[in-house]
Structure 1
Amino acid sequence: MLEDYLRRQDGVVTLAQARRSGLSEDAVRHRIRAGQWRRCGNGVYFADDRPFTSAARIRASVWSRGRLAAASGLAAAWWLGLVSSPPDIVEITVPRNSHGRAAAGTCLRRRDLAEVDVVEHRWLLVTAPALTVIEAAGRNPAIMDTALQHRVELGHLEQAHDRNRGRRGAAASRRLLNAAAGGARSEAERLMLRLLEGAGVTGWQANFAIGGYIVDIAFPAQRVAIEIDGWAFHSDQAAFQNDRVRQNRLALQGWQVLRFTWLDLTQHPERVLAHIRSAVSAR
């Protein structure tokens, strides 16, 4: 039974599980003194005959905070497969009345979660996908767009947000949800215009006609067109195909087309400007 625990739990085991496997507390202490096990927290141990992986680090950190603790934020996003890289700091949500300080490498959020906002995944409590998305998107907005394409519905995100009003980052989540609900294209176009004006970029025209099409922004002298997209999850196959047909026809007329999304403009404005300047100066 002990080996089953260690295998499925990334080498991490609790004192209660060790006891159920037939080990006494003296036997546990012996393993620690012998260097076979490492104490990770109160009643949580790691078997040192295997690598201490990111999964082991997150599991041990969460379990060390008690049976009601749950991984949240980017830690939950990684655990659920919403992002590819584990976070350096493990965010953990614990009940409001819990005590103790955060250990090194962890961040505590004290909040009582609704039952619907917690799930068990791979034998670890984590915030449910909808709550995980709206919390993690505050650090990485692309998570929300990706999740809406494949994993969750906008209505579920709205409900999770409403259940958790007052939490840290709620205002930023509300802005992201509003943008997602509206597709964010019109706001993205306004952002692009402000970005160009603020950077002193000239020679462009908005809503410029080219061969039967209206492009969002054009540099006529250099024949560079800029198209603004909203959120990827709003795009269906037909829209994707139409965009490519349109882009190819513009290219055949000698125009270079740059495409930017709302996320590009809000998260990487300097990179957007650099691409535009490079395209305009090269033609």
Structure 2
Amino acid sequence: MLDEAALRELAATQHGVASRVQLQQAGLTPRAIRHRIATGRWVSIGRNVVALGPVPTDIWGRAQAGVLAVPSATVSHRTAGALHGLPGLSPATRAPIDLSTTVLSAVGPADVRLFRRTHRPRFQHLGGMAITTVPQTLFDLAAVLPVEELDRVVDLSLAQRRLPLSVLELSVEELSGRGVRGTPALRHLLASRRSEGGSESELERLFLEGWTAAGGVPGRQQVQMPWHARVDHLWDDEMVIGENDSRSWHTRERDFDSDRQRDAEAASFGYLTVRITWGQVKYDLEATLVRLAKILRVRAGMASHTST
């Protein structure tokens, strides 16, 4: 007997796609499936997968279709990075779907790129699919990304606290010597970033050059505040503080709590703190400047409204 509720649940939880086996388990006969495809209600995606409506073009739907087409596969590499929302990763909207499988004879659809492994990678369930964990995804990306893009992704992921540095370092140590692709690249990257990620003076110079070139008015530099703290930049009228954060990953993690305390203390005096990191200036300067300009406009408007 046809279970319409099960069909609706499949469409909702599997991003609009289902396998033919799942459809038969919901009560549809092969003939009924062929009829819905022939009438244009559904669309066949390869031999084993059916779109329960238009063929999905978003990465979630395409990844789900790939997983259904290659049983026991795990979403990995660039696709996993995109689904995790890892910052700094080049867009992968129409790139092939990356899947990992331990089945050496597995064959995927034309838009699927298979990575064959001897052991299943570390994974978690996200959006109803098995997707490599963030550390595992970084290892996989380290094996396929250009050095500059890998540096950007890892740096921004750590800066945005997508994973702790200690977890990544532990993973590198655990997998060292096991022939895991990506380990040498990550080991080299971590070693190079145990020192300062760009000096404070260089960060300040690059930020100010970009800010003034974009038409921004520089704030006052190295200002002593009433609560006995010195700040890197101060926009007095807007009551906005800009703090350079060019420290190494280790130092950033260690000082995270104290930074939050400094920010809270500034807030108690009515000041908003904007932290300007090395990664933001190096990899995302334009967006960083646009964001700061917007903050200053909003704060200026608030000050104007308060004064009237």
Q: Which stretch shifts more, 117-126 or 137-146?
A: 137-146
How far apart, CA to CA, are the structure 2 residues paired with 1:11 and 1:271?
A: 34
Alignment of 1:238-253 (within 5 A): 238-242=258-262
Mapping 1:175-254, distance limit 5 Å: 175=189, 179=193, 182=194, 185=196, 187-189=198-200, 192=203, 227-229=243-245, 230=247, 233-242=253-262
Superposed counterparts of 1:1-283, under 5 Å: 1=3, 2-3=6-7, 4-48=9-53, 54-64=59-69, 66-80=70-84, 87-89=92-94, 91-95=97-101, 97-98=104-105, 103-104=110-111, 108=113, 110-112=115-117, 114-115=119-120, 117-133=122-138, 135=141, 138=150, 140=153, 141-148=155-162, 152-161=163-172, 163=175, 165-167=180-182, 171=185, 174-175=188-189, 179=193, 182=194, 185=196, 187-189=198-200, 192=203, 227-229=243-245, 230=247, 233-242=253-262, 260-268=276-284
TM-score, length of structure 2 as denominator length? 0.57
Q: 1:120 to 1:226 in 2, by over 3 A?
A: closer
2:100, 2:114 within 8 Å by CA — same for their partners in 1? yes
Decide whether aligned partners of structure 1 residues 114 and 157 sit closer, same or farther in structure 2, where only a CA change above 3 A counts.
Answer: farther
Deviation at 1:190, TM superposition (A): 7.3
Question: 1:40 is aligned with what amino acid?
Answer: I
Pick closer, same or farther for the CA change 1:41–1:144 going to 2, 3 Å: farther
Query: Any unmatched runs of 5+ in structure 1?
Result: 200-207, 218-224, 252-256, 276-283
Cα RMSD between the aligned structures? 4.9
Secondary structure in 1 matching 2:125: strand
Opposite residue 94 of structure 1, the aligned amino acid is: S
Separation in structure 1 between the aligned mates of residue 263 and residue 32 of structure 2, nearest angstrom? 66
SS in 2 for 1:88: coil
Corresponding residue of 1:254: none
Inter-partner Cα distance in structure 2 for 1:244 and 1:39: 56
Measure the CA separation in 2 of the matches of 1:34 and 1:245: 66
CA pair 27-247 structure 1, distance change in 2 beyond 3 A: closer
TM-score scaled by length of structure 1: 0.61
Once residues 34 and 11 of structure 2 are traced to their aligned partners in structure 1, the CA distance between those partners, rounded to angstroms, is 17
Distance 1:73 1:41 in 2: 23
Distance 2:10 2:244 in 1: 51
Q: Which amino acid aligns with 2:283?
A: Q
Deviations 1:107-160 (A, max 9, x none): x25242744612333431211232235539836342333244xxx433332344
> Which is further off, 226-235 or 20-29?
226-235
In structure 2, distance between residues paired with 1:121 and 1:92:
15
Q: Which moved more, 1:11-20 or 1:232-241?
A: 232-241
Q: Is the 8 A contact 1:133 1:147 kept in 2?
A: no
CA displacement, residues 177-204 of structure 1 (integer Å, 9 cap, x when unaligned)? 863xx4x6454437538969x99xxxxx
1:219-247 CA distance string (max 9 Å, x none):
xxxxxx98531356554343233367689
The answer to whether the Cα contact below 8 Å between 1:158 and 1:177 also exists between their aligned partners in 2 is no
For residues 248 and 177 of structure 1, do their structure 2 counterparts lie closer, same or farther at Cα, with a shift above 3 Å needed? farther
Alignment identity in percent? 21
Paired amino acid for 1:71: V
**Count of residues in correspondence between the two structures:** 248
**Aligned counterparts of 2:22 and 2:131: Cα–Cα separation in 1:** 20
8 A Cα contact 1:6 1:13, kept in partner: yes
